[in-house]
Amino acid sequence: MRVLLSLILFLSTAAAQDLFLPNKKDSLHFAVIGDSGTGDRNEYEVARQMVAFRAKFPFAMVLMLGDNLYGGESPQDFKAKFEEPYKDLLAAGVKFYATLGNHDDPKQRFYKPFNMNGQRYYTFKANDRVRFFVLDSNYMDPQQLNWLASELKGSNSPWKICFFHHPLYSSGKQHGSDVDLRRFLEPLFLEYGVKVVLAGHEHFYERLKPQKGIYYFISGGSAKLRRDNIARTNLTAKGFDQDNHFMLMEIDGDTLFYQTISRPGATIDSGIVSLQGENKAVSAAAAK
């Protein structure tokens, strides 16, 4: 009986840590975390899971969706809530790109490992086809809107991906959609062909049904968790609010693959976003 139980446990663990992304040599690999800076056990366990998956899926960068440091900004906080949990990734040369959440002091932009280069909002090109636009959704002033419009207009990258803290669409009982922000950002996203938007703030995972052709993901549970906080709405394509998680993404040509992984290593969502349309959530096995 004990042998049988051990076998079941082994098989479930093995299955739990399966990778369902193409993992092609020349494609862009990255991870996504949000609301991660607690310094508690959950953050460390998610970080360990990221390290485990990186052995199979060698991502070179991590996008941080804000609330990078909760409850203080002392040097000890930077150590306990960022440098220690992610020390293996940092030691391996993984680059983190942060955005500011409502719990973050804007001076985090000067902290080199967050790669913000002193800017509250910034853009960077991951490769010839992918450009990220990183916004400060706490403070969407005219300068930032002008900057975003100008940068989006000037970009010829087929993949324009925006990430920031506050979700424009959300089924969260605690916060919900940020409609004020949406009124100003969505017209720009539509005008200039943004395809994917990532946000945090809600302490769970939610993949929204495409809104006006744009794919929105909420990934705000990489340390914080607000259990049972996803309300029943017609926005949700997939939701998960029972454990912490992180995301893996891969962009190969005109296709973005995503896999969302829980703290224990189970795949809770996976699928495909295509630049040409024809996007689908697929079962983990099919994604592979």
Q: Which residues bind another protein (CB under 8 A)?
A: 71-75, 78, 102-107, 109-113, 117-119, 137-143, 145-146, 149-150, 153, 166, 175-176, 178-181, 183-184, 187-188, 191
Please provide the size of the chain in residues: 288
- For 269, phi then psi, to 5°, come to -165, 150
Which helix (DSSP H) or strand (DSSP E) does residue 285 occupy? helix 284-287
Our CB check for another protein shows the closer of 88 and 141 to be 141
We find the least distance from the C-beta atom of residue 127 to another protein, in angstroms, to be 22
Per-residue tokens: 174: 């605690």
Residue 69 beta carbon to another protein: minimum distance, rounded to whole angstroms:
9
| Cβ atoms 43, 10 nearer than 8 A | no
Q: Shortest distance, CB of residue 173 to another protein, whole angstroms?
A: 14
Instruction: Name which of 75 and 277 has its Cβ closer to another protein.
Output: 75
d(CA 66, CA 279): 27
Q: Which residues pair with 31 in a beta bridge?
A: 62, 248
Structure tokens at 207: 């993949």
Nearer to another protein among residue 71 and residue 253 (C-beta): 71
Smallest distance, another protein to C-beta of residue 68, A: 12
Query: Which residues, including other chains, have CB under 8 Å from residue 139's CB and lie 6 or more apart?
Result: 120
Q: Which is nearer to another protein, 78 or 257 (CB)?
A: 78
Q: Which of residues 163 and 258 has its CB atom nearest to another protein in the complex?
A: 163
Name the residue nearer to another protein (CB basis): 68 or 267: 68
**Alpha-carbon distance values, 231 to 10, 226, 234, 242 (Å):** 35, 12, 10, 13
Q: How far is the CB of 88 from another protein (least distance, A)?
A: 18
Q: Whole-number minimum distance, CB 83 to another protein, in Å?
A: 9
Q: State whether the Cα torsion 279-283-284-285 is positive or negative.
A: negative
Question: What is the C-alpha separation between 54 and 248, in angstroms, rounded?
Answer: 9
Q: Identify residue 133 by its one-letter amino acid code.
A: F
